[in-house]
Amino acid sequence: MVPYYKRTWRDFIDSTRDAIAELGAEIGISDEPERRVRCDKMVFAHYMLGLTLNHTARDWEDEIRAAKECGIDGFALNTGSQDHWLDEQLSLAYQAAERAGGFVLFISFDFAFEWTVQQVVDLINRFKYSPAQCVVDGRPFVSTFEGPQWAENWALVRQATGGIFLVPDWASLGPHGVAQKLDIIDGAFSWDAWPKGCNHKMGPDEDHLYLQALQIEKPGIFGTPNNKHKYMMGVSPYFYTNLPQWNKNWYCSSESLWYDRWQQILEVQPDFVEIITWNDYGESSYIYDPHRDDQVVPGADAYVKGHSHDAYRAILPHFIQAYKAGKTKAKPREHLEDVAIAWYRRTPASAGHHGETVWGQGGDALAAHGAKDVISVVAITKEENTVTVTLGDGQPREFQTARGSSYFEIPFDETTLGLVRLQLNGQVTEGPDIHCNCEDKVNFNAVVIQVPAKR
């Protein structure tokens, strides 16, 4: 130890830094760059904490590893006040993310349930010093699912937590309604990630309205960007739900949605992106398959079982890299293989009873009249290439890809049935068959395959 009378200012600074680091370690703060992640232009996945009743530490580790492998930066933990396992699973999630490093979490308070100010404050304070907590501008990132009726309470939360970076989803207010509450929030998250009723596609118009409402200036257009209010854009691969106990029974057109929406993200270049969802099996929007039966809400097992969505993640590294680089087109990552994915329903929409499923939330037409009977294909290739799709005993269909990303559709009907084969660079993946055997009613969920096959 250096004698006190021989200490320099450098010694004093070093010893002070060490003392702060030791104190930070005791309360969960880390100054290690690889442990405290900068939350800047990041991609999150919406995670339904309510489906983790029997999750183990290993489950969390496996899922975080899978998310990191495809370029996702963190989970938005959708949290409902009614779940008695909430505390345990939040702790396991944060511990697993801390061990993994380079992965962040934040709480997304679900206001389909009642919350007191104290409950919200306690959860934020409990995890705000974790090295895995997403922090923006020095404050813990916080989001919501809806809850504009709770808006005035956030001032109390800020005071009791020392400050938060609040980016709620108040989609029920729309961009213009959100613009009236800029003094309460630090940004906005749009849940608008699916075509509306009786529409096959959606565009980025509403996203641009949010950008205007949040007064986010874009470099080169309005001059110096104003980063006071951030925009988090939602992207989803699919939507189908049929849960009568919650009065939910609709399908949103999803034939090209996963591709279209990522193209729109590259166009809009929002501050953050949230994938909706990682694991909402009841709404068929998942990109990570369930590993236990109890993860799937009662009733949804009929349309989730045998319908893998894992392959949706195969194209994410390319789109996420392009988004973070500010590119308008997906650029293949040089160290990764060319990849193609295909998703499709396993029966034509007219193969059985429509089950009263409507076309889009609040739609006034049946999904059976709006759902397109197609195999949807997205390919990411380093150069021009060929993707081949074969359905049953039919003739192979060849499609020429461009450098980067390409999208194709192959129609089918009651006369073109059988196994689906997807081929790229001499590698073939065989997916489940398309058939007309509906035991009860049409399942509007999709199955997803990839080539090369997942190792």
Residues recorded for the chain? 455
pTM for the model? 0.90
Per-residue pLDDT at 83:
86
**Residue 297, CA atoms < 13 Å, CB-side half-sphere:** 18
- 374 phi and psi angles, rounded to 5 deg: -140, 155
In the predicted structure, residue 71 carries a pLDDT above the cut 70? yes
**CA distances from residue 453 to 264, 314, 382, 393, 432 in whole angstroms, order as listed:** 27, 10, 18, 22, 14
In the predicted structure, residue 11 carries a pLDDT above the cut 50? no
Per-residue pLDDT at 49:
97
Q: For strand 374-381 and strand 272-275, is the pairing parallel, antiparallel, or unpaired? A: unpaired
Instruction: Tell me which amino acid residue 4 is.
Output: Y
In the DSSP assignment, the letter for residue 154 is H
- CB of 116 within 8 A of CB of 14? no
Q: Cα Rg for the chain, rounded, in angstroms? A: 23
Q: Give the model confidence (pLDDT) of 425-454 as tens digits.
A: 999 999 999 999 987 899 999 999 999 998
Q: Give the model confidence (pLDDT) of 325-351 as tens digits.
A: 999 999 888 889 999 999 999 999 999
CA-to-CA distance for 375 and 360, rounded, in angstroms? Answer: 20
Region of 431 on the Ramachandran plot (φ > 0 left; ψ -120 to 50 alpha; else beta): beta
Q: Is 94 helix (H, G, I), strand (E, B) or coil?
A: helix
- CB of 239 within 8 A of CB of 284? yes
Q: Give the model confidence (pLDDT) of 21-54 as tens digits.
A: 333 333 334 443 334 455 579 999 999 999 999 9
In the predicted structure, residue 421 carries a pLDDT above the cut 50? yes
Name the token pair of 335: 């160290």
Share of the chain above pLDDT 70, in %: 89
Q: What DSSP line would sit under 186-227, residue for residue? A: SEEEE---SPPTT-S---SHHHHHHHHHTTPPPTTTTSS---
Residue 209: exposure state from Cβ atoms within 10 A (0-12, 13-18, ≥19): middle
CA-to-CA distance for 236 and 258, rounded, in angstroms? Answer: 6
In the predicted structure, residue 217 carries a pLDDT above the cut 80? no
Can you name the residues that pair with 377 across neighbouring β-strands?
342, 408
Can you name the residues that pair with 140 across neighbouring β-strands?
135
Per-residue pLDDT at 39:
55
Continuous segment of H or E residues that includes residue 58: helix 57-69
Contact partners, residue 106, CB within 8 Å, separation at least 6: 44, 74, 76, 77, 133, 134, 140, 141, 142, 143
CA-to-CA distance for 95 and 76, rounded, in angstroms? Answer: 15
Name the token pair of 70: 């495809």
CA-to-CA distance for 131 and 105, rounded, in angstroms? Answer: 10
* Residue 231 CB coordination number (10 Å): 23
- CB of 71 within 8 A of CB of 103? no
Per-residue pLDDT at 399:
98
pLDDT band at 218 (very low <50, low <70, confident <90, very high): very low
Per-residue pLDDT at 183:
94
State the average pLDDT for the chain: 90
Per-residue pLDDT at 89:
97
CA-to-CA distance for 255 and 259, rounded, in angstroms? Answer: 9
CA-to-CA distance for 262 and 189, rounded, in angstroms? Answer: 16
Name the token pair of 138: 């020095």
Find where tokens 């990522």 sit.
Answer: 262
- CB of 275 within 8 A of CB of 236? yes
Per-residue pLDDT at 300:
98
In the predicted structure, residue 107 carries a pLDDT above the cut 70? yes
Q: What DSSP line would sit under 40-52, residue for residue? A: SS-EEEEEEGGG-
